[in-house]
């Protein structure tokens, strides 16, 4: 069954901690992105560990292989379930990330986090790919990058829901799909472009779905989270 990831895209440690406190009993995964990683990393890591919640460390590593490997070793920790890299860094970089994660996990005596590769950001659309001079349609680009990530040893790809069915058909069910840009019916899209509902994401075969603002800005975050979790269960029925 698809798992829900709640994006802790919040400006202060206090707000992020409050969100974890409100939702941790639902057993969702919490995504710590660049806002938290740049603003209050050690504090949110400590709070997540104290609450024993799983983390998706959304750092999108993209640098030379040695630097990415060194950074990955610093990120691997007991409650880190997922860490991501950027597929545009290439196969050698992604392979270095996977090796570094495995090495550090072995040192700590823990399970290696799943390594996901970002393909094309869900805030991007075809004109953005054209502007960058990346040849082909945006879905095809995402598929090509996912294939490189799989060959490099990554566990899955981060892509829009629109690529999931093709990704599963091409690379099999064991290559996982993590889909941001998930919005319940009638929710605003904000800066996301290639979006989908939780129900359609599950139907497409997503293994993880990421929801941020529709939960974070809800009057009752717990109720909003439970509604999405119910929709995931119903979609799999």
> What's the pLDDT tens digit per position in 200-226?
999 999 999 999 999 999 999 999 999
Identify the structural domains of the chain with CATH numbers, from first to last. Answer: 3-236 (3.20.20.70)
Predicted TM-score of the model (pTM): 0.92
**Catalytic (active site) residue 31:** no
Mean pLDDT is lowest, of 18-27, 72-81, 127-136, for 127-136
How many residues belong to the chain? 237
CA atoms within 13 A on the CB side of 81: 18
What would the pLDDT profile of 66-106 be if each residue is shown by its tens digit? 999 999 999 999 999 999 999 999 999 999 999 999 999 99
Measure the CA–CA gap between 198 and 21, rounded to whole angstroms. 23
Measure the CA–CA gap between 71 and 69, rounded to whole angstroms. 5
- Count Cβ atoms below 10 Å from residue 146 Cβ, excluding itself: 26
- Catalytic residue chosen out of the listed positions 47, 54, 60, 168: 60
């Amino acid at each position: 069954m698809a798992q829900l990831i709640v994006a802790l895209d919040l400006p202060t440690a206090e707000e992020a901690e409050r969100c974890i406190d409100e939702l941790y009993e639902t057993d969702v995964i919490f995504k710590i992105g660049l806002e938290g990683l740049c603003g209050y990393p050690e504090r949110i890591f400590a709070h997540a560990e104290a609450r024993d919640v799983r983390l998706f460390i959304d750092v999108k590593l993209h640098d030379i292989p040695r630097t990415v490997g060194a950074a990955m070793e610093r990120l691997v920790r007991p409650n880190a379930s997922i860490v991501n890299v950027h597929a545009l860094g290439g196969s050698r970089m992604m392979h270095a990330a996977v090796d570094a994660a495995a090495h550090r996990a072995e040192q700590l005596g823990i399970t290696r986090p799943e390594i996901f590769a970002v393909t094309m950001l869900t805030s991007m659309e075809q004109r953005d790919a054209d502007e960058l001079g990346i040849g082909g349609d945006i879905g095809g680009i995402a598929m090509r990058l996912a294939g490189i990530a799989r060959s490099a040893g990554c566990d899955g790809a981060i892509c829009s829901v629109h690529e999931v069915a093709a990704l599963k058909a091409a690379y099999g069910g064991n290559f996982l799909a993590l889909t941001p840009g998930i919005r319940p019916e009638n929710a605003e899209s904000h800066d996301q472009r290639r979006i989908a509902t939780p129900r359609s994401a599950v139907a497409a075969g997503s293994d993880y779905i990421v929801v941020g603002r529709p939960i974070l800005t809800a009057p009752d975050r717990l109720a909003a989270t439970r509604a999405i979790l119910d929709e995931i269960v119903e979609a799999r029925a």
